[in-house]
Structure 1
Amino acid sequence: MTSPPTQPTTTTPQHHPHATPDTPHLTVRGEAELEVDPEIARITVTLTARGHDRRTTLDDLTHRNTTALDLLKSYGDTVENLSTGTLTLRPELTPYDRDEHIHTHHGTIHLTAELTDFTVLGELTTRLADLDLTRVDGPSWTLRPTSPVHRTARRHAVHDAVRRAKEYAEALDTTLAALLELTDTTTGSARPRTRSAFGRSAVRFSGAATEIESPDPEPLDLEPQRIHVCAEVTARFTMNPPRL
């Protein structure tokens, strides 16, 4: 009589939520720090208009907004993202006037532009700052959220955790057995390494309009800030019992 074929046996992985002398645990932290060039420069443009007449103020603000947008769009794909933020048009009352007479109207528009070609950044910022009643803040340097640099930093952090764990195990004359848990404990992603000379301060707040056309100003020499990228993980392992 032929015996039925023997079924292969499978071993179910044993979980060890608590450390024991037979399954000691080891917890380590893995870290990685990279310093890379930025991918994006972000500038903020604030357009201002003031006047005694509300409609005239609004017309002036609309004209300055159109001028700034046309200038930004003339750089094509160099300006990767362009968005309009807060629009404000508010009356200002005459001080100490109980009848609440409107003294003037004050309007502002905020624009945000992100550039990927830093060779034209100095030229664009100076041309924007040269516009009437226009303020430029920036640039702030950053990486894209999808930048492969973040993935590279995370991989290096994991490799650092495994290396540290193996070193501890070797110090006990044993080896790692299994990974129990891996936790991403990174508290920050990417930040500029140092503050540039241009920094985040205003480039220029221009004065009254002029009828005289002048050539474009000399472009600013802007040096990109290096970006500091950090990644951190916590890893828990089991070890083969060491002979102490």
Structure 2
Amino acid sequence: MTDAPVISVRGEAVLEVEPEIAHVTVRVQAQDADRRAALDALAARNGRALELVRSYGEAVERAETGGLWVTPLVRHGRREGGVRAYQGTAWIELAVTDFTVLGELVARLGDLERTAVHGPRWALRPGSEVHARAARQAVQEAVARARGYADALGCTLTGLIELSDEGLASPPQPYMETFATRAAPGAAPGGEPEPIEIAPEAQTVRAAVTARFTATAPDLGA
């Protein structure tokens, strides 16, 4: 075991970058006193929403069904029987990568009957190079800090004992919510709604490491 002096430091990097993906949730609903009618209406509305999404091609990287159910609505005060209606709900999860069409897509989806839009929730891709860049900068910060301590002590770094990654972190992002069941104000009757102006929110990525270095004997003076 070496008796060389050890310098332990922590390096951190904080990056603010543009998001790469906008996650949008679309909720489609239908309700009718007849169960089959509720199912048919839900299927039709879900199909129209998916058809609209597919018309944007590669701008929408992914469209997935996040959930689908039909439930009876019981009259108040009755434990069994007395079903007054059937309500169906379908959730569609979208990953949009072309932000130039996002405002138009959200507005058109929200204009569909009995449809609600939740989002966007901004994010980076799991394998984004931003994470690797933040980690490299954290390591560089640790090395620079250790060298600064070594200079202050009149010694130099000679080797690395340990480098520990404390992980990457991106804070959760808030999301907007849009509801619409008729044409937006200012749009022509029966025409397309006005696009909603949406500004991408910068993403903060943090990376931190701890490192231990060996050094030459310090010059502490007489």
Report the number of matched residues. 214
Give the corresponding residue for 1:203. 178
Given residue 127 of structure 1, which amino acid in structure 2 is its aligned partner?
A: R
**Contact 2:110–2:117 (Cα < 8 Å) also in 1:** yes
Taking the aligned partners of 1:98 and 1:116, their CA distance within structure 2 comes to 47
Give the corresponding residue for 2:90. 109
1:191 deviates by: 5.2
Give the corresponding residue for 1:57. 38
Is 1:31 aligned to residue 7 of structure 2? no
1:63 deviates by: 0.3
**Residue of structure 2 aligned with 1:173, choices 134, 154, 158:** 154
1:189 deviates by: 3.5
**Contact 2:168–2:205 (Cα < 8 Å) also in 1:** no
1:23 deviates by: 1.2
**Residue of structure 1 aligned with 2:198, choices 222, 225, 228:** 222
Taking the aligned partners of 2:78 and 2:157, their CA distance within structure 1 comes to 80
Structure 2: stretches of 5+ with no match in the other structure: 183-188
Matches within 5 A, 1:1-244: 16=2, 22-97=3-78, 99-186=80-167, 188-189=169-170, 192=173, 200-206=175-181, 214-244=190-220
> Among the aligned pairs, what percent are the same residue?
45
Which deviates more from structure 2 when the two are superposed, residues 181-190 or residues 36-45?
A: 181-190
**Contact 1:142–1:190 (Cα < 8 Å) also in 2:** no
Give the corresponding residue for 2:186. none
Residues 95-114 of structure 1, C-alpha deviation per residue, up to 9 Å, x if partnerless? Answer: 12355211111110110111
1:214 deviates by: 0.5
1:230 deviates by: 0.9
Given residue 146 of structure 1, which amino acid in structure 2 is its aligned partner?
A: G
Taking the aligned partners of 1:24 and 1:242, their CA distance within structure 2 comes to 8
**Contact 2:170–2:203 (Cα < 8 Å) also in 1:** no
Aligned-residue Cα RMSD (Å) equals 1.6
Taking a change above 3 Å as real, the CA distance of residues 98 and 221 of structure 1, as seen in their structure-2 partners, is closer
1:92 deviates by: 1.2
Structure 1: stretches of 5+ with no match in the other structure: 1-14, 17-21, 193-198, 208-212
Equivalent position SS for 1:160? helix
TM-score between both structures, scaled by the size of structure 1: 0.83
1:133 deviates by: 0.3
1:54 deviates by: 0.6
**Contact 1:46–1:111 (Cα < 8 Å) also in 2:** yes
Residues 176-196 of structure 1, C-alpha deviation per residue, up to 9 Å, x if partnerless? Answer: 11101111113514655xxxx
Moved over 6 A (4+): none
Taking a change above 3 Å as real, the CA distance of residues 38 and 118 of structure 1, as seen in their structure-2 partners, is same
TM-score between both structures, scaled by the size of structure 2: 0.91
Given residue 118 of structure 1, which amino acid in structure 2 is its aligned partner?
A: F
Given residue 201 of structure 1, which amino acid in structure 2 is its aligned partner?
A: M
Taking the aligned partners of 2:79 and 2:124, their CA distance within structure 1 comes to 53
